[in-house]
Structure 1
């Protein structure tokens, strides 16, 4: 049986440490690795902080260093894991509700239990990002 795919947004991703002002876009094509030059951020301001999440090109990333925009609104995002594919120039950087496609690691992850009153019990599950 094939795992079910779904889009996930983590609560952590919704509680950024920095305000992420501006309209961030990839600055230049053919960027690879664990750093990405962007523009469109609020000038001379902290854009994202270490530990904040974002998505680009359908990939979910976590910053490993603060991203501070210069006077032109440009900065470099340093993150893990590395890009799987190079985003195009002007690709949107999603910071408000970054998403990725996830699959449960096995069929047992989807079993939910409730008590005699029909109240669902707390549930944790394990999923991995799906690379399409």
Structure 2
């Protein structure tokens, strides 16, 4: 059977640590005579996590090593969310409603939605995560500003990273266990083992920007 990407993570996962890093690309141009300058902000925004698994014995380590190799270096993709942020800290954790994208053709760092519960303060908090799309189109976004819903259950979400594609009207917004599509940053799979037979595995990845 051929492998179909994106893959799910192995079920035997316990994280020792996760460094949920991110990157923006900017530049500063300054006059050599006055020092006056300006910042240039490029559209590049990307998650760059490093994940480290707890030490494990052969049965679990073998599964993980084979899974990493099945990605064929940087070519294969998988679904990943921040293990430290599986659910919102805002009121959406217990009162999510049925949030949907409100209107097609949206772009940039803001997204209009409806279907949220009416008149809820701090429905989403700064740093909460959401998912747009599913499967190979899943994108992981962070909320940049506190979200309060209107009396009709509408809201404007400030997002990082900005939208890379325009989500379809009425497409669902995932609030619990949100994920995006990621790929590894290396072609090498290392499987270090100590004399007690414990394996220590870690890997770096980025969210996939391929078409």
* TM band (smaller chain): 0.7 to 0.9
| 2:203 corresponds to | 125
Output the aligned Cα RMSD.
1.7
The 3 A distance-change label for structure 1 pair 22 and 112 is: farther
Map of 1:114 onto structure 2? 193
- Give yes or no for contact 1:13–1:54 (8 Å, CA) kept in 2: no
Please give the secondary structure, in 2, of the residue aligned with 1:34. Answer: strand
Distance 1:127 1:19, change over 3 A: same
Per-residue deviation, 1:15: 4.2
1:13-92 aligned at under 5 Å gives the runs: 13-20=85-92, 21-45=96-120, 46-57=122-133, 58-92=138-172
C-alpha distance after superposition, 1:60-81 (max 9, x if no partner):
1111101111111111110111
Structure 1's unaligned 5+ residue stretches are none
Structure-2-length-normalised TM-score? 0.57
Measured after TM superposition, the shift of residue 114 of structure 1 is 2.9
Give, in whole Å, the separation in 2 of the partners of 1:51 and 1:69: 17
1:52 & 1:124 partners in 2: Cα distance? 25
Bigger CA radius of gyration: 2
Q: Which runs of 4+ in 1 moved over 4 A?
A: none
Cα–Cα, structure 1 residues 15 and 120, in superposed 2: closer, same or farther, change >3 Å? farther
Structure 2 stretches lacking a partner, 5+ long: 1-71
Structure 2: distance between partners of 1:76 and 1:40: 12
Q: Structure 1 112/68 Cα, relative in aligned 2: closer, same or farther at 3 Å? A: farther
The superposition leaves residues 77-128 of structure 1 with CA deviations (integer Å, 9 ceiling, x where unpaired) of: 10111111111110111110111111110123x323232233232x442111
